Amino acid sequence: MNLWTSKDAVKATNGISKINWVADGISIDTRNIKPGDLFVALKDKRDGHEFVKAAFEKGASAALVSKVPDGVNENFPLLVVEDVFGALQSMAKFARARTKAKIIGVTGSVGKTSTKEMLKTILTENGKTHAAEKSYNNHWGVPLTLARMPKNSDFAIIEIGMNSPNEIRPLAKLAALDVAIVLNVAPVHLKAFKNVEEIAFAKAEIFENLTSKNSAIVNNDLSTTQILLKTVKAVGANLVTFGQKDKSDFRLVSSTWHKNKTSVKAKINDQNIHFDFCAEGDHFSMNALAAFAAAELVGADRKITTQAFSNWQAPKGRGERKKIKFGLGNIELIDESYNANPISMAAALKVLSNSKSSGRKIAILGEMGELGVEENLFHSDLARIEGIKEIDVFYLVGPLMRFMWDELPDYKESKWFESIDELIMEIGSLIAVNDTIMVKGSNYTKVSKIVEAIKKVSV
């Protein structure tokens, strides 16, 4: 079944298409466009109209444009609109309206993508499931995800992120959510907020367009839980809570992990459940409870959900664990390179601390970004996390990580590097056979380069 016909696209956008066409997918990047895709010529650092010709050369079935681009003419299958981004939003709204899918929105300071992937794993076993690719959670990622949603979907999972106030609200409204989740609220993006309470109000925007027919899933263990609950009560949505507190609807009883596997025991309204997944960490267990709750609310079978969790494993850069050949033996690499903030950093250090290792436990840490005026303190406080007691070596990178380095106990083996490249130059001498190594830092630090360097020296 085709994703879009020219007839539906014209109806959705009020655009003009002189040639009939059908599209099996939608792409905004000619580097990964597939034959049969509709190419959307968005403007970002470059104007997408510059790549329309290349899109057709790679097999695009049509292009969404605001003008006839260079290298093509009116005889090409063009959908011409006044504003390309506005048209994409209109297609998203149209796609949402034509499906009977139950749609789940996920936001939170930490764990959005992991939870989205959990939901994708368990809902796929219950019906036709559509989900955002990668971390497509911003002003263009959400409408793109919706516009890509097949009409016959049973379920869809939409990841919604933010950097500042008033960003979640329009995206949640566009998605017309059946279920909305706030996983957590943490001191992230503090450059745009005065405090964590302001962040909670911004996260609560995901609930503002819910009705009594919809459900809100709220973390019951947060210092800001009451802020979230206030919005839920104001709209009259069905409230479901998760957490470790006794009164949580989905309550975490225990979370035990070993050898890249976590076993969760929980109570759902006083009924005991148990399930496993292929990753380590209490933070994953909490996210799993939120995912379990959402699956139940959209009608998933509990037995199928419980079994399906065993197929989930941490995405790349978010706790993925691999054994790699090194010298005459192996090392174990925990890839947490996707991003970092104080909460996720503490969680990752706890995983490393609790890991069984016949060699050293090494933490390679890059800076945490967007922490505002107290960024120095947030970094120095990492040295006081209880989990660091069991970690043998710290390699710290970047000016802000100097504050952690200065606060580490004298008995800890540690080294500070000004830059990623400086550390990479020494990587071969910094690690040894049987080491367990965890790499984590914010995206802008590019600590993923360290992960790749470790893999190269390990060959």
For 436-450, write each residue's pLDDT tens digit.
999 999 989 999 999
Model confidence at 341: pLDDT above 70:
yes
Give me the torsion for CA of 338, 339, 343, 348, rounded to 10°.
30
Contact 383, 407 (CB under 8 A): yes
Q: According to CATH, where is 3.40.1190.10 located in the chain? A: 99-311
Give me the torsion for CA of 175, 177, 182, 187, rounded to 10°.
20
Q: How far apart are CA 39 and CA 56, in angstroms?
A: 8
Average pLDDT of the residues in 161-165:
92
Model confidence at 241: pLDDT above 70:
yes
6 vs 328, residue with greater confidence = 6
Average pLDDT of the residues in 130-158:
94
Report the pLDDT value the prediction gives residue 134, as an integer from 0 to 100: 78
Average pLDDT of the residues in 61-69:
96
Q: Distances from the Cα of 49 to the Cαs of 19, 29, 35, 139, 447, in angstroms?
A: 19, 11, 18, 20, 33
Percentage of residues of the chain with pLDDT beyond 70: 100
Residue among 263, 268, 224, 223 nearest 242 (CA): 268
Structure token pair of residue 435: 């080491």
Average pLDDT of the residues in 423-441:
95
Burial (CB < 10 A; 0-12, 13-18, 19+), residue 47, is: middle
Q: How far apart are CA 252 and CA 296, in angstroms?
A: 16
Contacts of 17 (CB under 8 A, 6+ apart): 6, 9, 10, 62, 77, 78, 79, 80
Average pLDDT of the residues in 18-44:
95
Report the pLDDT value the prediction gives residue 239, as an integer from 0 to 100: 98
Mean pLDDT of the chain: 94
303 vs 269, residue with greater confidence = 303
Q: How far apart are CA 389 and CA 354, in angstroms?
A: 10
Q: How far apart are CA 21 and CA 15, in angstroms?
A: 14
The structure tokens 């597939």 sit at 34
Model confidence at 459: pLDDT above 60:
no
Choosing among 3.30.9.10, 3.40.50.300, 3.40.50.620, 3.40.1190.10, the CATH entry for 99-311 is 3.40.1190.10
Q: Quick: pLDDT tens for 410-419.
A: 999 999 999 9
Contacts of 398 (CB under 8 A, 6+ apart): 366, 367, 417, 418, 419, 420, 441, 445
The structure tokens 């903030």 sit at 341
Q: How far apart are CA 104 and CA 130, in angstroms?
A: 10
Q: According to CATH, where is 3.90.190.20 located in the chain? A: 320-457
Report the pLDDT value the prediction gives residue 458, as an integer from 0 to 100: 66
Q: Quick: pLDDT tens for 165-219.
A: 999 999 999 999 999 999 999 888 788 898 999 999 999 999 999 999 999 999 9
* CATH number assigned to the domain covering 4-85: 3.40.1390.10
Average pLDDT of the residues in 89-117:
96
Model confidence at 1: pLDDT above 80:
no
Report the pLDDT value the prediction gives residue 177, as an integer from 0 to 100: 98
Confidence of residue 288 (pLDDT cuts 50, 70, 90): very high
Phi, psi angles (nearest 5°) of residue 35: -55, 135
Choosing among 3.90.190.20, 3.40.50.11540, 1.10.10.10, 3.90.1170.30, the CATH entry for 320-457 is 3.90.190.20
**Cβ neighbours around 140 below 10 Å, total:** 16
Report the pLDDT value the prediction gives residue 265, as an integer from 0 to 100: 97
Structure token pair of residue 413: 């083996």
The 3-state secondary structure of the chain reads CCCEEHHHHHHHHCCECCCCCEECEEECCCCCCCCCEEEECCECCCEHHHHHHHHHHCCCCEEEECCCCCCCCCCCCEEECCCHHHHHHHHHHHHHHCCCCEEEEEECCCCHHHHHHHHHHHHHCCCCEEECCCCCCCCCHHHHHHHCCCCCCCEEEEECCCCCCCCHHHHHHHHCCCEEEECCCCCCCCCCCCCHHHHHHHHHHHHCCCCCCCEEEEECCCCCHHHHHHHHHHHCCEEEEEECCCCCCEEEEEEEECCCCEEEEEEECCEEEEEEEECCCHHHHHHHHHHHHHHHHCCCCHHHHHHHHHHCECCCCCCEEEEEEECCEEEEEEEECCCCCHHHHHHHHHHHHHCCCCCCEEEEECCCCCCHHHHHHHHHHHHHCHHHHHCCEEEEECCCHHHHHHHCCCCCEEEEECCHHHHHHHHHHHCCCCCEEEEECCHHHCCHHHHHHHHHHCC
Average pLDDT of the residues in 312-321:
87
Q: Quick: pLDDT tens for 355-408.
A: 888 899 999 999 999 888 889 999 999 999 988 989 999 999 999 999 999 999
Report the pLDDT value the prediction gives residue 405, as an integer from 0 to 100: 97
Structure token pair of residue 376: 């120095």
Sign of CA dihedral 237, 110, 302, 117: positive
